[in-house]
Amino acid sequence: MTVWLVAREDFKRSFSPRMLVVLGVVAVLFLIVAGCLFGAQLYGGGRVYGAEEQFNVARAASYHMAVGWGLLFAIMLAMGAASRPLEDGRAQFLLTKPVRRSHVLLGQLVGVFLSALAAAAALAALASALSLIRAHVFPWTLWLGLAVASLALALVVALVAFFSLFLPRVVAAMLGIIFYLASFPAAFGAVRDFMTGGYRDAGLQFPWYVRWGAEVYFAAAPPIAGVQLRAGELVRLKAWGVDGWLTVATAAAYVVVFFVAAWALYSRRDV
């Protein structure tokens, strides 16, 4: 109950008038790009795409734009979600009530997560409206993909909040963006296979630190882009095998690990 109360308050605070203006600008830009995608003639492989192909491309692109924006929004909010209240007295207000510290932290992170999800969902809703108008089809897989990709949002929120508890907020946000971008190579099996041994078949040799670095990176990289791309396969109705479930399970484990790490820091902090 208290988790929900804290989350709800933080959710409401996320959509300040200034933030609503930013959201409005992003929505307009999205409408322009997605509107073109849903309406324009697309070419590929030396031919014009058919209506269904065009719809699939527009839907997948909308999905990635919505999730990308959601991730960016999550990073923006998460950098101050737990650390700022510790400094500005809001944590003091909350922690003098009969509320456990873990519940306060969880509430703050859930609030950010829901805000980021709402920001992504707003774009998905616009894409759905465009799809209905242009193609007379409701893109339900877009929403399915978004639901799965919400795990990537949760992962980014937990990760950035954790870093923000012992690093300056801007650095924590930068690390969130770096982790997100750096997680893309790990999301592609071909890259992983090449960097963890496949390079030998191509007659290449890497120094030991590159080999070890690659092993550690591919073993430990938080699957932020991994979840986004795997969920993107759902959007395009591609087969979802063990790999997809494994990515989701790994991401869920990372969310738990980063939350517990953040809680370990938060619970020891003087307010």
Partner 1 sequence: MASVLEVVDLTKKFGGVTAVDELSFAVAPGEVFGFLGRNGAGKTTTIKVALDLVKPTGGEVRVFGEDWREPELRRRVGYLPEFPVRYPDLTPRRYILFAARLFGLARDEAARRTDELIKKVELEDAADRQMGGFSKGMLQRVGLAQALVNEPDLLFLDEPTAGLDPLGHHLVKELVRDYAARGKAVVVSSHILAEIEAQCSRVAIIDEGRLVAEGELAELLKPTNVVEVEVEGPAAAAREAFAKVSSAVDATGNRFVLTLLPGKEASDVSKAAASAACVVTALTTRRQSLEDLFVAVVKRSGEAPPA
Contact footprint for partner 1 (CB under 8 A): 1-2, 5-6, 9, 13, 16, 88-90, 92-100, 268, 270-271
Min. distance of Cβ 117 from partner 1 in angstroms?
Answer: 22
C-alpha span between 255 and 194 (Å, rounded): 28
Shorter beta-carbon distance to partner 1: residue 14 or 54: 14
CB of 21 to partner 1, least distance (A): 15
CA 192 vs CA 93, 184, 187, 198, 248: distances in Å: 47, 11, 8, 9, 18
Do 106 and 4 touch, CB atoms closer than 8 A?
no
Least Å distance, CB 263 to partner 1, is: 14
Report the alpha-carbon distance of residue 48 to residue 42 in Å, rounded.
6
- C-alpha–C-alpha distance, residues 25 and 144, integer Å: 26
Shortest distance in whole angstroms from residue 90 CB to partner 1? 5
Which CB, 92 or 133, lies closer to partner 1? 92
- Select 33 or 92, whichever has its Cβ closest to partner 1: 92
Distance, CA of 173 to CA of 72 (rounded, Å): 9
d(CA 133, CA 174): 38
Which CB sits closer to partner 1, 104 or 186?
A: 104
CA angle in degrees (0–180, nearest 5) for 108-124-54: 150
CB 123 within 8 A of CB 30: yes
Nearer to partner 1, 99 or 182 (CB): 99
Find the shortest distance in angstroms from Cβ 165 to partner 1: 15
For the bound state, the minimum distance from the C-beta of residue 98 to partner 1, rounded and expressed in Å, comes to: 4
How far is the C-alpha of 156 from the C-alpha of 244, rounded, in Å? 19
Nearest to partner 1 of 201, 270 (CB atom): 270
